[in-house]
Amino acid sequence: MAVSAALALVAGDKPSGSEEGRFTISFPAGYVYCRSQIRMNSVVPADGERASIFSASSVENGMTFYTWTPKRGVGQGRSWVDADVTVYGVKASLVQQAQADNKCTAWGKNIENCRGNGGGDRPECKSIND
């Protein structure tokens, strides 16, 4: 499999003052999700029921992301999710063979749904290869 382009549209929405953010990575027409890599750098706050949340899902034409970074009190600092995400797409005409060769995974799944160091109903945020 060869890379013929490194192009995607990244769109996001995190209204000023909001704790929630929603972001997408969309491939050009004719390309579909193949696989991804998420390298988790840091999550702040990492502990407790107000630890930051990160979620990533594969969709046919790319990936969607959700973050929840809580507002913190005076003197408590900022909150964030810091991750490097690499998403690979392949021409739609080649995806079935790439999946059969285990070079691509199927889209349509939640790849990560984590909270800081783990807690509540979510596991710890960590690096993942899909």
HEC profile of 38-99: EEEEEEECCCCCCCCEEEEEEECCEEEEEEECCCCCCCCCCCEEEEEEEEEEEEHHHHHHHH
Percent of the chain clearing pLDDT 90 (strictly above): 72
Mean pLDDT over 91-108 rounds to 96
Q: What is the pLDDT of residue 36?
A: 96
pTM of the model: 0.85
Q: Which stretch of DSSP H or E encloses residue 100?
A: helix 95-100
What is d(CA 68, CA 66) in angstroms, rounded to the nearest whole number?
7
pLDDT at 39 over 60: yes
72 falls in which pLDDT band (50, 70, 90)?
confident
2 falls in which pLDDT band (50, 70, 90)?
very low
Higher pLDDT, residue 121 or 55: 55
